[in-house]
């Protein structure tokens, strides 16, 4: 009997343990379901709308103005309109957004002319007066009260001018020690009118032209290009349209990030009003990350400068490694140092330049109407178009 009771007690204890175990499993199962539910809710929260990016500059004008003020805009978000597309430029796939704004990538960014594009800048470099901007495209971008635009940048000036006018109208005699009588006020007002008209005339008068390389009374920069030769030299070309007959001597200095001079390029060209010419700057050192400073000095023509527009290009032919340029004299005489200059294009991009003196390469130009053919070796240059420049 005692033995039977012990067996019975053992069975009872086993049943109790089994019940507790089953209860525990049920509790754990409930907890697991609860944890799973919480995880699912967290996952649902994670699968939400993409985070919006705030645009720092809402147009190309305000962005370029900030760059010209010397601000560091790397990492900023800017929205612009693609004005021109140059997929095969010397600096890469170039999306032109302004007079000096080049948004450049190594791959086709799938952008068309007149597209509105929003990007985040990665690196920004200044080369020859133009901004070279690497970037990455941005989606889900929005504007807010902090977004800067060109129109907003003008409003404070207008507001200040308006406040100043209101202040001057509200206190016309603020600088007088005693109040003016009615007659005196009318007299003062009548005397002030001519001055106001004079100020208005002055404000409407054209601004004086800046005497800088980029903005001056002598030429407009119409195209900028750079390329490397087979021996590693860097060539920078500034094509210009002349506003007057003048000689310009220019210097382009390249500076490293530490402020040291990396190289110096110089050129002197003779401009003929209404005609194209170009500055050619040559650097033997690596200037890929350089910043530039340019100076230009106008000079009067000397006795060595001959008749302008005295020779024209009739045609050109490419045969093997030679370029044959047919020239015809249209003026009465050539200066002793008169020369022809050529811009070699591949599509819309300048890929090389050539220049030589008439008295060396075209000696048979000996009078008005005479012709000659100049031969130029163009080995290794891939081009499909030639532009001619005459320099007296």
Domain ranges of the chain: 54-142, 211-301, 304-392
- The dihedral over CA atoms of 75, 252, 87, 81, expressed in degrees to the nearest 10, equals 50
Common-topology check for domains 211-301 and 304-392? yes
The 10 Å Cβ neighbour count of residue 90 is: 17
CB-facing half-sphere around the CA of 1: CA atoms within 13 A: 0
Confidence of residue 40 (pLDDT cuts 50, 70, 90): low
- Strand 130-137 and strand 116-127: the pairing is antiparallel
Confidence of residue 48 (pLDDT cuts 50, 70, 90): low
Cα–Cα distance measured from residue 257 to residue 242, given in angstroms and rounded to the nearest whole number: 34
CA 299 to chain centre: 30
341 is written with which tokens?
Answer: 């200059």
The per-residue pLDDT for 12 is 52
Higher model confidence: residue 191 or residue 121?
121
Assigned CATH for 54-142: 2.40.50.140
Q: Which of 335, 314, 323, 327 is nearest to 372 (CA)?
A: 327
Confidence of residue 257 (pLDDT cuts 50, 70, 90): confident
Cα–Cα distance measured from residue 299 to residue 244, given in angstroms and rounded to the nearest whole number: 12
- Mean per-residue pLDDT, 256-276: 93
The per-residue pLDDT for 44 is 52
Higher model confidence: residue 372 or residue 306?
372
Confidence of residue 17 (pLDDT cuts 50, 70, 90): low
pTM assigned to the model: 0.51
* CATH of 211-301 given 3.30.70.260, 2.60.40.3230, 3.20.20.70, 3.20.20.480: 2.60.40.3230
Confidence of residue 303 (pLDDT cuts 50, 70, 90): confident
Angle between helices 150-170 and 60-68 (to 10 degrees): 80
Cα–Cα distance measured from residue 193 to residue 86, given in angstroms and rounded to the nearest whole number: 54
The per-residue pLDDT for 7 is 52
The 10 Å Cβ neighbour count of residue 146 is: 8
pLDDT tens digits for range 103-139: 999 889 999 999 999 999 999 988 766 889 999 999 8
The per-residue pLDDT for 232 is 87
Residue 179 has pLDDT above 70, yes or no: no
102 is written with which tokens?
Answer: 């080049």
The per-residue pLDDT for 350 is 95
pLDDT tens digits for range 53-92: 999 999 999 999 899 888 999 999 999 999 889 887 767 8
Which strand ranges, in their side-by-side order, compose the sheet holding 234-242?
A: 219-228, 234-242, 276-283
pLDDT tens digits for range 222-239: 999 999 888 889 999 999
- Give, in words, the CATH class of 304-392: mainly beta
Is 64 within 8 Å of 100 (Cβ atoms)? Answer: yes
Confidence of residue 250 (pLDDT cuts 50, 70, 90): very high
Cα–Cα distance measured from residue 121 to residue 74, given in angstroms and rounded to the nearest whole number: 5
Q: In sequence order, what are the beta bridge partners of 221?
A: 240
Say which residues have a Cβ less than 8 Å from residue 138's Cβ, sequence separation at least 6: 53, 77, 118, 119, 120
**Torsions phi, psi of 31, nearest 5?**
-60, -40
The 10 Å Cβ neighbour count of residue 347 is: 12
The per-residue pLDDT for 133 is 94
């Amino acid at each position: 009997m005692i033995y039977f009771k012990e067996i019975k007690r053992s069975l009872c204890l086993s049943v109790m343990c089994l019940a507790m175990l089953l209860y525990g499993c049920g509790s754990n199962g409930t907890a697991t379901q609860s944890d799973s539910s919480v995880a699912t809710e967290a996952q649902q929260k994670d699968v939400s709308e993409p985070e919006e990016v705030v645009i720092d500059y809402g147009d190309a004008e305000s962005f370029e103005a900030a760059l010209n003020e010397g601000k560091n805009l790397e990492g900023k978000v800017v929205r612009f309109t693609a004005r021109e597309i140059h997929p095969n430029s010397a600096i890469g796939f170039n999306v032109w957004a302004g007079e000096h704004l080049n948004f450049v990538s190594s791959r086709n960014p799938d952008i068309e002319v007149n597209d509105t594009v929003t990007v985040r800048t990665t690196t920004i470099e200044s080369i020859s007066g133009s901004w070279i901007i690497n970037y990455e495209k941005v989606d889900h971008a929005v504007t807010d009260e902090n977004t800067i635009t060109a129109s907003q940048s003008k409003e404070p000036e207008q507001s200040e001018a308006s406040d100043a006018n209101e202040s001057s109208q509200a206190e016309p005699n603020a600088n007088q020690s005693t109040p003016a009588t009615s007659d005196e006020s009318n007299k003062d007002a009548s005397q002030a009118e001519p001055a106001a008209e004079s100020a208005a005339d002055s404000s409407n008068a054209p601004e004086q032209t800046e005497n800088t390389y980029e903005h001056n009374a002598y030429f407009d920069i119409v195209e900028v290009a750079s390329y490397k030769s087979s021996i590693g030299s860097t060539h920078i070309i500034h094509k210009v349209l002349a506003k007057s007959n003048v000689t310009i001597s220019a210097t382009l200095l390249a500076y490293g990030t530490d402020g040291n001079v990396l190289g110096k390029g110089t050129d002197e060209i003779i401009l003929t009003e209404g005609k194209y010419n170009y500055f050619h700057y040559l650097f033997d050192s690596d200037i890929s990350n350089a910043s530039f400073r340019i100076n230009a000095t106008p000079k009067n023509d000397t006795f060595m400068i001959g008749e302008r527009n005295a020779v024209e290009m009739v045609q050109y032919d490419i045969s093997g490694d030679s370029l044959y340029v047919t020239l015809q004299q249209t003026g009465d005489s050539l200066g002793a140092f008169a020369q022809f200059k050529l811009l070699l294009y591949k599509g819309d991009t300048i890929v090389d330049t050539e220049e030589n003196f008439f008295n060396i390469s075209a000696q048979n130009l000996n009078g008005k109407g005479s012709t000659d053919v100049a031969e130029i070796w163009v080995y290794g240059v891939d081009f499909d178009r030639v532009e001619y420049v005459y320099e007296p």
